[in-house]
Each structure stands twice: as C-alpha cells, then as structure tokens.
Structure 1
Amino acid sequence: MHKLEPPTYRKVSSYAYPSFSEKEFKTRHKRIREWMESKDLACLIVSGGGAAFDRCWSNIRYITNYMGSMEIATYCVFPLEGEPVVASILVLPDRAARSVVEVRARNAIEVTVQRIKELSLSTGKIGIVEPDVLISIPMNHWERLRNEFPRADFEFVTEEFWKLRWVKTPEEIQVLEIAAHLSDLGTEAIAHAAEPGVSEGRLYGAYYDAIFSNGGEPGFPGIGSTSMLNPDASMPRVHPMERTLQKGDILLLELGPLYMGYEAQNQRSIALGPVPSDYQDMYSVALEAWSVVTEALQPGNTHEDIVKAGQIIKKAGFRWFSPLVHWMHGGCPRDGPYIGHPNPKLSQVPVTLVKDLCATVEITVSNQALTKGVMLGDTFHLTEKGPRRLQRYPESPEMLVL
C-alpha cells in the first residue's frame, strides 16, 4: 500500500510530538476570540479528558496541542484578552512538552479558579465548552465554579464551539488524510490476519500493531465476527470475544484511529469464504445507499438530501442503526450533526453542506432484529467538485472476500 509521509510541522521540544504549525494555532485562536467577542464572552473554560477512546481531549488539543493521560477532567482557561492556560491534575515533562500554551498542575478546578481570579473575570460572562454535546463537567467542579464566582454569568456553549470547527483548514485536511490512511492500514492488517482458527483477539492485536507502528493512536477499534449461516451480530464490538474465526464468517469493522487527535472513520465488511445470497442482497443495498448518500455530499445540499438518499435501505425491507452521515473531528462523532440517525433525538438538523467539511458516510444494513448485517463507510472531504474519498483500501467499495 502507498505510504503517506507525516506533515512537516514543527516538533515539540526534544520529545518530538507532532504539532500543527504556529500559524495554524494563531488562526484558531483568532477565530475563537472573534466568536467570543460576538457573544460578549470574556473567557472560555474548555474541558476535556481521557474518555471515549481519548476523543474527549479533542477541543483542548485543538487549542493547545496538549493531551494528558487518563485524567477525567482537564481544562483550558481561554480568555478574550490574556494568555490561555491548561489546568490539569498531574503534568509530567513529556506531557507538558506537547502544549503550545502554559500548563499548570495541581488540581484542575483549583488551577482554573486561580486563573480566572488572576484575569479579574469573576464577574464576567464565561462560556463553558463541554467535551461532548451529551456529557458535561463534573458536578462538584460546576458547584465550585458557581460558589467561587456567584456574580459570573456562565453559559454552556458546547454546540456553538464545535460549529467553529466544522470547516477544515488545509493543515487539518492533510492530517485527516493521514488518519484515513491509518484506517486503511488497520483494515489491511486485519484482513491479512483473518483466517479460520484465528481468535478475535488476534485481529485486535493486528489493528493495534498497524496503528502504533505507523505513528497513530488507536482511537475507536470496532471489530466483530459472526457466522453468515447462523448470524447473531450486525455491528462490531470494541473488545474481543473468546471466539475463533471459522470459514463462512463475516467480519464487521468500524475503525477510527487518530492522527494528531483527528479521526477519519471507515466501515468494512470482510467475508471469510463464499457470501450467501441473503448477505449479497444486503450488501447490494449497502453499495447503492453508499453511492447515493455519497453523491448527496455536495456543497449547497442539506440534511434532507442525505436522508432522502438513505431511504433506499428502508424501501428494501432492511433497517439501519447509525447515522447515515456524521462529522469527524477527533471528538465523539456527536461533535457535529448526526444526519439520518434512526433515533430522532440524535439526529441534529438542519444543516447545509459547505466546502471543506469532512464527514463520514456510515452505511449499515441489517435485519429488523439486528442479528444480521453489513457495513460500508468512508470519510470524505467536500470540495467544490463534490466529495473526495480519503480512504483507498480497498480501492473499490465492493465487499472484501478472503
């Protein structure tokens, strides 16, 4: 397979962590502050930590390049005027070396409170950016902020902050291309390891080896297997079962490795041997849905165009259990619209597509009981000429048959 070279961005001190360019961070900080000014925000408290396969570090990494270890709550105090500061519980030299801003360690909420007082913002309007739109900061931290700053006007601005990140810069697109390449390498490694007699755990090992060996972070490793003659699964798992592959199995993959905190998911179905007619029928529907949903990824189109395209699955008598399209930043996929999710509460609309969005088309086709299914998906960069597929393995979206 072709090899993509890492971007020639600066390395952080002697620890050689990759980082976006200084110009990129200045551009981000400027854009954030312009948005803060429009909302009359004096300061942001941006939260993150090691949850959801390290995706919840995303916004802190976006602002600072900092990433800790397994902390549940870390903050970046980002003022409209003044220098940002990362507030964490434990900072080792190699962790601190990642950051392009000052990192202070003791107790994350203590440092956050101290920094707000230093900035004399105890009566200002303060925006809180949660790590994900469906989760928030710890209750004791929230109570501490309200007790320390009773005259401050707190506003949760998570969804608005994510929207600032929807349109990608050239540096971000380059990093997403590498993340997509890592998902290709992970898929290829799993395909090479898959044969009758091999355990599911061995497939996970092949994936992790491929990602770590090529400079990535494992992110989301969705891998599952079931018999196509007596199936009991329609989607992958994130931990292996004590199961041994057999001829006639199907592998269901949803791989989301990270590069520099950015994720470009793929979804794949891999058959170990001849594909029964019922699975052929499902995959034919998945191919058609993948094609028409991908074609709908045109600047100027809306969520309605995507949802309409995905109705092919329902008309064929099957169901789907994932959004047809979701954004990818490196945070949880909920950081952007869940377009066409079967649960209306998770389907965030409306949205109009624009140039330089990057989104994952995630086609899942299953029976009504969710015991049999196939998957097909890729991440795309929306250009003026239409969607550009970032994955390249396999070159064709046809099912891999080993």
Structure 2
Amino acid sequence: MMPNALPDHLAALTEADWPRFSDAEITRRYTAIDRLMDEAGVRHLLVYGAQWNGAAIPWLTHWPTTSEAALTVTPWGTPNLFVQFHNHVPQAEAEATGCTVKWGGEDTIATVIEDFRSRGATANDRIGVIGPLGLGGAAKLQAAFADVVDLNRAFTRLRLVKSAEEISWMRIGAWYSDRAMAGVAENLAPGLTERDLCDICERAWVPAGGETGIHFFGSTPMAEPDCRVPRQIPSNRKIAAGDVVFCEISGAFRGYSGQILRSFTVEADPTQLYRDLHDTAMAVYQSICEVLKAGTPVGDIVAASRVIEDGGFTTCDDLMHGYGGGYLPPVIGSASRPAGKIPDMTLEAGMLVVVQPNVTTVDGTAGVQTGECLLITETGYERIHLFEPGFHRVG
C-alpha cells in the first residue's frame, strides 16, 4: 500500500525547480564551519567533492558535486565554488547558493591554490580540507603551503545531530523509500529478477522527484538458501515460488535519504528456519529500540542484541549506524560480528540511526534483514517511515 501524500509544506519542496534550505539554516552551517576552522587553527578551508561523493559541498552550497567541485572558504570575500566540467557550470550557477561559481580550469587544485593566494594565503599558512581529496591534490597543497589539516572527522561530528530543516528533508527521503517498498510488496512475483525490483524502486521515486540512494536485493530458495545479505549489485536470477526476498532501500531527496529494510516470502509461508531467523531479527530490533533515547551509551545497544547469539545465529551487516549525510557513527556490529571497537559515545536528540538487524545462520547460507531509519528524541525514538514492519508474504 502506497504511503499517503506528503504534507503540503514538504510537497512544495519536491515541486521546486531548485529546493533550498532557509538562509538561517545555511548561516547556521557556516557558523559551525567557522568554529571548526578556529578550533583547528586554519584560516583557509578547501571543501572538496568528486563523482557525487563529498557531503560537505551540497551541505554548504546546495550543489550536489557531479564530476568535481572545490569550495574555497577564506576570511575574505564570498566562497568560490570551482566546478568541473565546463558544461556543468551553467547548472551549478543556477543551483548553488552563497558562493561564486567558476570553472575549475585545466587543474582544479592548481586553480584552488591560486585562489587562496589571491585572497591572502601565504606559504606559511595551514590549509584545512574537508572531503575525499586524493593524494595528488593533497601533495599539491602540501607543496604550496605549510601544512594541510584533515578536518573530516570534525566535520562528521557536525553532521551527527540534524537541524529541524534537515529532519524535514529526511522525511521526504523516507517517503520515497516507503513508496519503493510498497511498490516491491505490490509487484513482487515469480518470474521477476532482482534487476526488475530495482526498476520498481526507481519508478516509485523518480517521477515524484526522488533520487536513488541504494536498492539492494537478495533472493534465494528457502529450501536451499545461498544468500545471507542483500546484494549491492542485483543478480539476473528469476524469483520463484518458495523464495525469500530481502532488501535495503534508500530513496533520496537532494541527498537526504530514508533507509528501510524488509523481508518477503513468495507464494509460501516462511520455513521454520526463516521464521526463527526473522523472529530473532524482530526481537533484537525491538530490544534495541527499547534503549534508544538521548543519553544512551552505545555499549548498551550491543548488549541489547545478545538475543542473536542466544538463538544460535550471527550477523553479516552492521547492526546499527548513524545516518543522514553519510554512513555515520556510531557504527555497531553484533557480539559475534563486531564492527570494531565499540564507540565511546552516547546518543543525542536529533541524531538519526538505522537499526537493521541482518540475522544469519552461522554457516552463512541463510539470512533475513529488517529495520529502518529512526529519529532519536529526548525520551525515546520516532519512526520517520510508514511502511508496516514484519515478515511479509506476497502471493
């Protein structure tokens, strides 16, 4: 069942040619960046992105970083946004705000260095960098200035707690994701392939102004399973009666996406193994949700997941991660499949997290996945998705 229409104030954003955050919101962001630069002892900052990667560029300018983009922030003058390729400049001029858009020239980083110098940077200055700048670009900056300071971790900390406007944009992404999941539920049938299911997702959000975050699918016979986690690249396997199909779907609105995970059986009830797997996944999901609220230490979330190992199962995917502007901390695995050292941090109101138990057999042949993106509040959590939880049978 498709979700209801968006509220009018959110629908209006999706209908705009170039959706915008308020001036007050952008000012808030630049104020946070100025504070970050002061704490790091840098006067000049390069914000970099390439091939749609680099969340700081759109966060500050609304430009989604198509091929390559470099934003120079200095104490003097408006930030400059250097864009590649030349044919991307006209749209960047239309979309980007709070900056002067220019072509990046033959060598974007060389252009950036000249821009810094023209605005007062000297060989004795330290240059801050946010974004996925490669070794070649970093080497050029290091040759031109006294030091290059990696500010990515500091920027990530800025993104953990979302503003009210950001949460509204995330709700639109969640709505797109719910539309896609509803489309899968309504159309999943024997004979389709995982590629077809990806197409169903895109037909659910592209006409409504959405963008593709991810659509990962896994399908396998419940009687002889060989897939434990949704695939990042879809197979061309034809779905058949008796299959389990599980998925992770993120539809996005200008980079702000929801994330929802569900499992389906096709023209058959779950086998006992799959019923046990999904019952365990739902139990751990609910156990984690019971401890979600501002002030919860991350270690309490791992402790809440012990039902997985108690049931004789394990996990493949991460159990929970922060969300909104990237794959953010805290990234948490299960006791039997850790994601590294448990982060020494507590949850804060305004964080968004994806709770996504992917419960699998120990031998890795079978698995299910469920969960979704949740908003942390002072007293608990809030769902931003509307698609119903549970193990769904189609047909």
TM-score, structure 2 as length reference: 0.91
Where does residue 39 of structure 1 map in the other structure? 40
Q: Aligned in 2, Cα 1:88/1:303: closer, same or farther, shift over 3 Å?
A: same
1:234 and 1:252 in contact (8 A); partners too? no
Cα-to-partner distance string for 1:167-222 (whole Å, 9 max, x where unaligned): 11110011111111111111111122210112222111111111212211111111
Where does residue 320 of structure 1 map in the other structure? 315
Q: How does 1:64-143 map to 2 (within 5 A)?
A: 64-69=61-66, 71=67, 73-90=68-85, 91-100=88-97, 101-105=99-103, 106=105, 107-122=107-122, 123-131=124-132, 137-143=133-139
Cα-to-partner distance string for 1:81-110 (whole Å, 9 max, x where unaligned): 532222222133123311112222123212
Q: Aligned in 2, Cα 1:80/1:314: closer, same or farther, shift over 3 Å?
A: farther
1:264 and 1:360 in contact (8 A); partners too? no
SS at match of 2:165: helix
Q: Matched residues in 2 for 1:160 and 1:380: separation?
A: 23
Where does residue 333 of structure 2 map in the other structure? 340
Where does residue 147 of structure 2 map in the other structure? 153
SS at match of 2:370: strand
Cα distance, 1:57 vs structure 2:
3.5
Cα-to-partner distance string for 1:319-343 (whole Å, 9 max, x where unaligned): 1122222111232x1x322123666
Partner AA of 2:332 in structure 1: I
1:46 and 1:76 in contact (8 A); partners too? yes
Cα distance, 1:37 vs structure 2:
1.5
In structure 1, list runs of 5 or more residues that go unmatched. Answer: 132-136
Q: Matched residues in 2 for 1:230 and 1:75: separation?
A: 51
Q: Matched residues in 2 for 1:357 and 1:25: separation?
A: 19
Where does residue 134 of structure 1 map in the other structure? none
Q: Matched residues in 2 for 1:260 and 1:295: separation?
A: 32
- Which of residues 186, 193, 199 is equivalent to 1:192? 186
1:257 and 1:264 in contact (8 A); partners too? yes
Q: Matched residues in 1 for 2:150 and 2:28: separation?
A: 23
Q: Matched residues in 2 for 1:27 and 1:387: separation?
A: 25
Partner AA of 1:325 in structure 2: M
Q: How does 1:184-223 map to 2 (within 5 A)?
A: 184-223=178-217
Q: Matched residues in 2 for 1:285 and 1:384: separation?
A: 28
Q: Matched residues in 2 for 1:320 and 1:344: separation?
A: 9
Q: Matched residues in 1 for 2:36 and 2:375: separation?
A: 25
Cα distance, 1:148 vs structure 2:
2.2
Cα distance, 1:347 vs structure 2:
4.9
1:65 and 1:99 in contact (8 A); partners too? yes
Partner AA of 1:146 in structure 2: Q
Cα distance, 1:65 vs structure 2:
0.7
1:299 and 1:352 in contact (8 A); partners too? yes
Deviates further, 121-130 or 186-195: 121-130
Q: Matched residues in 2 for 1:307 and 1:95: separation?
A: 44
Where does residue 295 of structure 2 map in the other structure? 300
1:88 and 1:103 in contact (8 A); partners too? yes
Q: Aligned in 2, Cα 1:9/1:227: closer, same or farther, shift over 3 Å?
A: closer
**Is 1:398 aligned with 2:351?**
no
Cα distance, 1:130 vs structure 2:
2.6
1:255 and 1:266 in contact (8 A); partners too? yes
Where does residue 354 of structure 1 map in the other structure? 348
Q: Matched residues in 2 for 1:114 and 1:15: separation?
A: 36
SS at match of 1:18: coil
**Is 1:265 aligned with 2:259?**
yes
Where does residue 183 of structure 1 map in the other structure? 177
**Is 1:62 aligned with 2:62?**
no
1:300 and 1:354 in contact (8 A); partners too? yes
Q: Aligned in 2, Cα 1:345/1:197: closer, same or farther, shift over 3 Å?
A: closer
Q: Matched residues in 2 for 1:187 and 1:75: separation?
A: 36
Percent pairwise identity: 26
Aligned residues: 384
Q: Aligned in 2, Cα 1:260/1:399: closer, same or farther, shift over 3 Å?
A: same
Cα distance, 1:38 vs structure 2:
2.4
Cα distance, 1:5 vs structure 2:
4.1
Q: Matched residues in 2 for 1:129 and 1:193: separation?
A: 43
Where does residue 4 of structure 2 map in the other structure? 2
SS at match of 1:92: helix
Q: Matched residues in 1 for 2:129 and 2:365: separation?
A: 41
Cα distance, 1:370 vs structure 2:
2.0
Q: Matched residues in 1 for 2:357 and 2:347: separation?
A: 19
Q: Matched residues in 2 for 1:5 and 1:49: separation?
A: 34
Cα-to-partner distance string for 1:147-181 (whole Å, 9 max, x where unaligned): 222xx221112111110111111100111111111
2:194 and 2:218 in contact (8 A); partners too? yes
Cα distance, 1:366 vs structure 2:
0.2
Cα distance, 1:238 vs structure 2:
2.8
Cα distance, 1:256 vs structure 2:
1.7
Q: Aligned in 2, Cα 1:279/1:159: closer, same or farther, shift over 3 Å?
A: same
In structure 2, list runs of 5 or more residues that go unmatched. Answer: none
Q: Aligned in 2, Cα 1:36/1:251: closer, same or farther, shift over 3 Å?
A: same
